Structure 1
Amino acid sequence: MAQQTDPGEARRRIDQLVGSPHAQPLVDAYFEPERGFAGSVFDGLDEYGLLADNPPGRFTGDDIAASSLLDVRFGPKAVRTLLTSQELADALDAVPPRCPLWEADQPELQAASGLWSLIREIPGVGRTKASKLLARKRPELVPIVDSVISEALQLRFDTWRPIADALKDEGLRQRIDDLRPTRVTKPISTLRILDVVVWMSCSRSKAAVQVQLEVGAPATRSLT
């Protein structure tokens, strides 16, 4: 039997990271273009309109390029499948484009789960790639789940439910939304801001650690 996530522990960790005095400067740094992070380009929301081709009913080259900004690579077969499969396009179109994860009902979650399963069937597309691609297409519904997020929130087999349960708390959602950087004028989803808070706080990448040290946050490792 697959190990299940403790929703209470996931919530506790989200509270801790969102409530940190370092959360705001970490988020702000992530969205500064000169820092070299994906920032708002991933969402197609930057001031230059980069990678903005993101229609709700089909996958595009911009979607694949945007996902690659988060350190994943889609091979040639995966790219062809994503861009040409009508089955995938139909499954994507069946998922409501503006449905928050914490409000999703069973039919909406089933549609998203069906799309998830189809994408996972593409050779070379695992959980991390699938989550980043779907977070681009349905930013209010699908959270990014990579090794950093999974470890930080102690997520196991089930990843959406613990995050959805935590975000049913309107007060927590407001605290996350309050961290949106002022320099980004277009709306960024609550899930995306949460992802940035957790990743910037817990990543061991050189770029993230440099910011952690700069803003006085606990560093995940030494750079020496």
Structure 2
Amino acid sequence: MTTLTVGGLTVPLDVAQGWAGEYLVDNPGRSAYPAYDAYPGSCTGEIGRQDLLAIVLLNVSDQPVATYYALESLIEPLNVLLSSPDITGTLDVAKPATLDAVAKLFSVLDKDRPKGVRMTKVSKVIARKRPGLIPVFDRFVRHCYTGCANAPVPSVDGRTWEAYSRSWLEAVQHDLRSQLTHWEDLASIAPGPKISPLRALDIIAWRAGQGGFSRRTTAVESAQ
């Protein structure tokens, strides 16, 4: 039986195909696809105020007004970091300098972090700007890579967001690169707009990671 690895978890390929079909095809009007992936935002490579609203399409909707203003305060520093020439290409072929530059984006959380903003919200804004390079993060993805048994990025007290994201990016890159053909096949299920293999990995990690939470907890995000 062919399986896919996402962090410390394994998923049978046929199960992953079913999950991808549900997310990308079977639930029109209820899934985050294509709303999140097709949302035009600022229509540029930089973050604009329009892009901040995209996170609600991945069910980040708690205190939306406060969240908007908090994220707005990060637009300028994030755009400065996004302008790095090392932030280029896709994650499967990214060099260490590129991983360093992407991890640096999350350093905004280590400096006067706005209340209510953590890695999940920042990732869901910046991932749309570089969808083949920057993964989406949430508590279910975290469970795959940090919370479950044999997770490749265990918790370390006192570690910065930048340092954590650097280790996490390397772990995601390993899973993406070592199974790239399968992620490409899963991405091809999307009827349009196209999604990257990295986005396909995110969809499977999101579903796989729900196994570490109660049914009541996951129901809140069941429409993602």
For normalisation by structure 1, the TM-score amounts to 0.70
1:146 maps to what in 2?
A: 138
2:198 maps to what in 1?
A: 191
Matched, 1:55 2:49: no
Counterparts of 1:70-219 in structure 2, within 5 Å, are 70-73=58-61, 75-83=67-75, 85=76, 87-94=77-84, 98-118=88-108, 121=111, 122-123=113-114, 124-153=116-145, 154=151, 155-156=153-154, 157=164, 158-169=167-178, 172-180=179-187, 182-203=189-210, 204=215, 205-206=218-219
- Structure 2 Cα separation of the partners of residues 208 and 130 of structure 1: 18
- Identify the range of structure 1 (179-188 vs 23-32) with the bigger mean alpha-carbon deviation: 179-188
Distance 1:182 1:107, change over 3 A: closer
CA offset at residue 52 of structure 1? 4.8
1:69 corresponds to which of 32, 52, 57: 57
How well do the aligned residues superpose, as a CA RMSD in angstroms?
3.0
For normalisation by structure 2, the TM-score amounts to 0.70
1:29 maps to what in 2?
A: 22
- Structure 2 Cα separation of the partners of residues 186 and 23 of structure 1: 20
Deviation digits for residues 113-149 of structure 1 (CA, Å, limit 9, x no counterpart):
2222125544032121122222222222222221111
Distance 1:69 1:96, change over 3 A: farther
2:161 maps to what in 1?
A: none
CA offset at residue 178 of structure 1? 0.6
Deviation digits for residues 8-66 of structure 1 (CA, Å, limit 9, x no counterpart):
x85562xx32x33221121121124535121122122xxxxx4353411x212332121
Distance 1:168 1:34, change over 3 A: closer
1:40 maps to what in 2?
A: 34
Q: Structure 2 stretches of 5 or more lacking a match?
A: 146-150, 155-163
The letter of the residue matching 2:44 is P
Q: Structure 1 stretches of 5 or more lacking a match?
A: 1-8, 45-49, 211-224
State how many pairs are aligned.
190
- The DSSP-based 3-state class of the residue aligned with 1:109 is helix
The letter of the residue matching 2:102 is A
